[in-house]
Structure 1
């Protein structure tokens, strides 16, 4: 009873405090879209709060979280780029200062999105892409003022894999006249585009920075080779299990290095969260606990299932924020290790603006691995891009915050002193990068 009373009080406080926190200037909207029978996806829109321009004069950015099963409406919004942080205090580095923000909980079952049919969870990129196109068609039909606004898709981790596929399908849908929007480009942040390129680089990377000795390096390389072998044989679910085991080998040999920021041992991502979710597959369960549960930490879960749920008013009583994330993760197990480098090639060949950005301190999707799959691109302009010298990106302090290269419709940003969650680790740099990618400054 006491907890319930606290939730009611918190909800009341939120309704009182949320608008004044931004002077009542941030306009919001949210809704569900039924994408398939018994499958409903939730979106949340913040209209841009630009100091001098109307929201129709600045871009619309859709943010896709990773996992699969991590919530953009929760983690991306309150822990990374939204107008308020988890304490409901204004975020000085919020992207809403320069763009309208559209958060979507995808695939179905993520965050506030839900299904009442166990067979309705997505099992591959094609299904979640089709679902997203239905949502975007409904969104742009209902928000006609955004149809001519420059629309960008930004992503993180597994969200990058989804973003690549969604971007290509959206481009084709726009050309066919099925969706009315001004699609301007996609940004792939610390993205799971070619998982094996990360896995095979883990050992040498950790050894080069003295987080593995020679014995540890041999053990990690042996484990990584087994992942490569499974992939070569087309055994994708087995490759996923072996990926998890490779991470175990790394933890054993590095005294538990944090996969999301190698310099941050005691962080959100390095904690072992307890879970009542049971997986018949031990490797899959380990991956879920390591990579999904930390994005649903107690403080964020209490916020989303308490005050925010009360504010939104449309979340069904039967739906718990994050309650179906394990099923999302489990159903996508056969897709984890499949690369989508060919999709990025198609995007570049079609003239779509593609940006890759990566945190220097990330391990799970290390920069070495990202550079590895980029070198595999068949894009005709790749040699010109590779021959460029990178350019330092300076902030007001004149400190070097990043390096970047850009050739025609392809760019790469190396974000210094950042791990997997670039906007969280380097908010000022990520905001500057957003402005550059969306042509609002350089």
Structure 2
């Protein structure tokens, strides 16, 4: 049962820990045992809008990347939650426009945990079935949300999971096994077609003056090895070669940041992949940035005490590397076909991408979009995009977008991989447009 009782002790805990309340809103959280010994944590913030009741606003579920990145931590305190990492009110919080549900997904992420080593998910099919158990529980325990428009927003590998979850959810809703008003999915800088991303790293870096001809040749050569492994359906090998390719990129760019090409990897030394455990190396590159020391201290300190339901032997982020390693064999598999199925089924699908993102560059996103078999693709492709003003800088273009039938694409300017962190006001406006509030 949801921890509504937690609200009664909420203010006293906040005072004792020196934590401010998330504006005037309310929040609830709980665990769901999705499989025997596999426990998933969720945290809901009710919408807190000055102009509308929460009942009149949508519900948004946020899924983080990695896999192994925590929505309750990074997505919440670094991107879209009501408070930032310093526990100060966030001006561009999505709670202004929607109730926001953070889920630590897959099992083992954030405060989620498994009691057994074999309890981790190894593919997106298990990730999707686990989430359906959680969502069925959630909408049953808090039935008032069943009629509200429900959207899934995601980032990075979270987008790959979101696509698979959305397909299974749409089927479950049609069957009546999950009662909710599923309104659409938004795929942000998403790992939908890993190979298209990797194959465009070289050209993207070259055109932005971050590679010379020699570097371009090195990166393209490493990417070709990844391509061969994918084409041979050797996906674990492809993941390892993806790690090698990232090392080649680092060596030739003096450590460009995969999340924003205008910066370098923070506190990173450029290493070689020779002799490295590629899982550990990739966890270091892509999981640790989502578990910054200050965020780790916040989550395992004041937040853990506030929540008051975290088992004594569970540490926020303690199983993150295990989550990543168990998904390694599924990591490089594309899910473009799932997006096709969603569009054909009439599900509203949005793709949005940051201009400065490398790991999931916009060039790669556009490549897989062109591969869609969806009958509306020719009509979408013929459209010209529409510019959007940056709400934080009126008169300056903040994004472009186009939409056709049940598909939309947003190109977010001056943003890297974590769009809400880089362009918070633009991300909030996009949320409102997708959920039909503007």
TM interval, short-chain normalised: over 0.9
For residues 191 and 110 of structure 2, the distance between their equivalents in structure 1, rounded to whole angstroms, comes to: 20
Equivalent residues of 1:259, 1:270 under 8 A apart? no
Counterpart residue number, 1:28: 27
Counterpart residue number, 1:158: 157
**Structure 2 residue 314 is matched with structure 1 residue 319:** yes
Equivalent residues of 2:155, 2:189 under 8 A apart? yes
Q: Secondary structure at the match of 2:257?
A: coil
Among residues 356, 359, 362, which one is paired with 1:367 in the alignment? 362
For residues 93 and 395 of structure 2, the distance between their equivalents in structure 1, rounded to whole angstroms, comes to: 21
Q: Secondary structure at the match of 1:196?
A: helix
Among residues 419, 422, 425, which one is paired with 1:425 in the alignment? 422
Among residues 18, 21, 24, which one is paired with 2:20 in the alignment? 18
Unaligned runs of 5+ residues in structure 2 are 1-12, 270-274
Counterpart residue number, 1:380: 375
Unaligned runs of 5+ residues in structure 1 are 1-10, 274-279
Q: Secondary structure at the match of 1:263?
A: strand
Q: Secondary structure at the match of 1:69?
A: coil
**Structure 2 residue 417 is matched with structure 1 residue 415:** no
The verdict on how the C-alpha distance between 1:299 and 1:341 changes in structure 2, with shifts beyond 3 A counting, is: same
For residues 12 and 307 of structure 1, the distance between their equivalents in structure 2, rounded to whole angstroms, comes to: 9
Q: Secondary structure at the match of 2:118?
A: coil
The verdict on how the C-alpha distance between 1:16 and 1:219 changes in structure 2, with shifts beyond 3 A counting, is: closer
* CA-to-aligned-CA distance 1:229-284 (integer Å, 9 cap, x gap): 0011110000000000000000000000110000022xxx63339xxxxxx96122
For residues 42 and 261 of structure 1, the distance between their equivalents in structure 2, rounded to whole angstroms, comes to: 30
For residues 312 and 416 of structure 2, the distance between their equivalents in structure 1, rounded to whole angstroms, comes to: 36
Counterpart residue number, 1:140: 139
* CA-to-aligned-CA distance 1:14-47 (integer Å, 9 cap, x gap): 655422x61xx21000000000011000000000
Counterpart residue number, 1:438: 435
Cα distance, 1:395 vs structure 2: 3.2
Counterpart residue number, 1:235: 234
For residues 388 and 188 of structure 2, the distance between their equivalents in structure 1, rounded to whole angstroms, comes to: 17
* CA-to-aligned-CA distance 1:87-143 (integer Å, 9 cap, x gap): 000000000001000000010000000011001100000111100000000000001
* CA-to-aligned-CA distance 1:199-229 (integer Å, 9 cap, x gap): 0000011111111000000000000000000
Equivalent residues of 1:65, 1:72 under 8 A apart? yes
For residues 345 and 234 of structure 2, the distance between their equivalents in structure 1, rounded to whole angstroms, comes to: 31
* CA-to-aligned-CA distance 1:361-405 (integer Å, 9 cap, x gap): 000000000001000000001011011000001134121000001
Cα distance, 1:296 vs structure 2: 0.4
Equivalent residues of 1:305, 1:320 under 8 A apart? yes
Equivalent residues of 1:14, 1:311 under 8 A apart? no
* TM-score w.r.t. length of structure 2: 0.94
Q: Secondary structure at the match of 1:405?
A: strand
Q: Secondary structure at the match of 2:426?
A: helix
Q: Secondary structure at the match of 2:333?
A: coil
Q: Secondary structure at the match of 1:154?
A: strand
Between Structure 1 and Structure 2, how many residues are aligned?
Answer: 420
Counterpart residue number, 2:6: none
The verdict on how the C-alpha distance between 1:127 and 1:281 changes in structure 2, with shifts beyond 3 A counting, is: farther
CA RMSD of aligned residues (A): 1.4
* TM-score w.r.t. length of structure 1: 0.93
Equivalent residues of 1:65, 1:155 under 8 A apart? yes
For residues 376 and 169 of structure 2, the distance between their equivalents in structure 1, rounded to whole angstroms, comes to: 23
